[in-house]
Amino acid sequence: MIPMPQDFSKLSVTLGDAGTIEAMPGIAALRPFSPQAVDFLNDLSRELLRADSGLGAGYSDVATFAFWCRKGSVMKMKEDYPNLESRLGKGIVFHSTPSNVAVNFAFSFASGLLAGNANIVRLPAKDFDQVRIITAAAAGLLTGKHKHLAPYLAFVKYPPDQRLHDYFSALCDVRVVWGGNETIRELRRSPLKPRATEIAFADRFSFSVLDADAYLDAEDKDAAANHFYNDTYFSDQNACTAPRIVIWTGEKKAEAKADFWPRVAALVREKYEYQPVQAVGKLNAFCLLAASHPGCLCISDDNALVRAELRAIDTDTKEYAYHSGFFMEYDAASLDDLLPMIDERCQTLSYFGNKEAITAWIMDRRPHGIDRVVPLGDTMNFTLVWDGTDLICAMSRVIRS
């Protein structure tokens, strides 16, 4: 039992209480995919789907999480782990979740729980309905049917505070930090226990590879545009997974672009709202890029969708990435054209076309970046392997006997 200093006035515990946290070092770890955790998540899923539909409008991100954590889906994930018998959770995981994404915290604690740990979750600073809904559903279950799991879950909320970072960092066996880089730097000032480890999700850079010919052959082009819209505009094109550059491969590039972009533009006109400051920001982003890259061309009918046609892919290309509907675009003769920009910061390659060609190319060229290759529309789908790290393995330990 590690008593919490009494003067943490900035701290509010929104699930569990200070006692839950203080008692965590003394409780037994769970096994990965323990029946308790799987059942709890399954009931949570049911509660959320009910609560969400009860609200009328419904939050698509809450529903996505609810589908992800239902038993059928979790048992399918478990199939990727045939050798769990000798594993146990490491103990306590402290999750620092991003302040401007609502549901990320839920995927984070669910992963920690599935790996077999007690979890302290620092919630987003912003007040999201989604956070309230998930917290209420979890609280209901943990005081009732799933009482025995209550010691394994605490949600906290506090403004950046070194002493609180220190306290939770000293308490945990694994610290999971969802970036950006500023937040990671801030938390790294708080020491971990000597054996504790950290999983840091830093600012990343993602791009799309669209095969012009495959696109033109596709039956449902509106679906492709819709997937692209969801991958980008849904998160203000500011999620790590959101493509900032669109690479075209194949033969009929001009034809494909002339078909694709108007479809995206139509969706944007219909659904996307943005502020004047974002319009100015996109103009500024283009000017910055163009100033030092002669031949770079701005294509835009209005400020909702701004494209910047690149003449080449350079090592510095991704420094010019911007959000809110600003797309750098490049016609590639071969995927090798992309190599200069691919470093450890590259995360998601979303594609339309032939996946095998892309993965074969990655394994052949072995760049230092690209952790995910997913079809258009799947960029935001959370998996237990994230950013190249297997969360179940990283948050559990192996007992050799």
Partner 1 sequence: MDVFFDTAPYSPGKDEKGALLSRRLFELTRRHYERCEPYRNIIDGLGFDLEKAGTYYDLPFLPVSLFKQLDLTSVPKEEIFKTMTSSGTTGQAVSRIYLDRETANLQQKALSKIVSSFLGASRLPMLIIDCPSVVKDRTMFSARGAGILGFSFFGTSRAYALHDDMSLDMESITDFFEKFGGRRVLLFGFTFMVWQHFVHEIEKLDIKPDLSQGILIHGGGWKKLAADAVSPAVFKKRLYETCGIREVHDYYGMVEQTGAIYMECEEGHLHASVYSDVITRDFHDFSVCGFGETGIIEVVSALPASYPGHALLTEDEGVVLGEDDCPCGRQGKYFKIQGRLKNAEIRGCSDTYAAGL
Asked whether position 275 contacts partner 1 by CB under 8 A, the answer is yes
Q: Which residues pair with 346 in a beta bridge?
A: 205
User: Which residue stretch of 85-93, 94-102, 108-116, 150-158 sits at the interface with partner 1 (rule: CB under 8 A)?
Assistant: 94-102
Any residues with CB less than 8 A from the CB of 166 and at least 6 apart, and which? 190, 191
Question: What is the four-CA torsion angle of 186, 371, 208, 341, rounded to 10 degrees?
Answer: 70
**Within positions 336 to 355, which residues make up the interface with partner 1, using CB under 8 A?**
none
**Within positions 360 to 399, which residues make up the interface with partner 1, using CB under 8 A?**
none
Using the minimum distance from each CB to partner 1, give the nearer residue, 16 or 98: 98
Q: How far apart are CA 217 and CA 78, in angstroms?
A: 36
Q: Which residues pair with 15 in a beta bridge?
A: 155
User: Which residue stretch of 3-11, 157-165, 300-308, 391-399 sits at the interface with partner 1 (rule: CB under 8 A)?
Assistant: 300-308
Asked whether position 217 contacts partner 1 by CB under 8 A, the answer is no
User: Pick from 6, 35, 276, 368: which binds partner 1 (CB under 8 A)?
Assistant: 276
Output the CA angle 193-27-118, nearest 5 degrees. Answer: 65
Dig out the tokens for 103 from the structure: 């549901």
CB 180 to partner 1: min, Å: 3
Question: What are phi and psi for residue 88, nearest 5 degrees?
Answer: -135, 155
Q: How many residues bind partner 1 (CB under 8 A)?
A: 52
| Cβ atoms of residues 139 and 20 within 8 Å | no
Pairs from 333-336 (Cβ < 8 Å, separation ≥ 24): 334/249, 335/209, 335/249, 335/361, 335/365, 336/365
User: Which residue stretch of 6-14, 130-138, 163-171, 293-301 sits at the interface with partner 1 (rule: CB under 8 A)?
Assistant: 293-301
Dig out the tokens for 31 from the structure: 């096994």
**Within positions 247 to 266, which residues make up the interface with partner 1, using CB under 8 A?**
none
Asked whether position 242 contacts partner 1 by CB under 8 A, the answer is yes
Asked whether position 128 contacts partner 1 by CB under 8 A, the answer is no
**Within positions 174 to 203, which residues make up the interface with partner 1, using CB under 8 A?**
178-183, 201, 203
Q: Which residues in this chain contact partner 1 in the complex, by CB under 8 A? A: 98, 100-101, 104, 178-183, 201, 203, 234-240, 242, 274-281, 283-298, 301-304, 308, 322-324
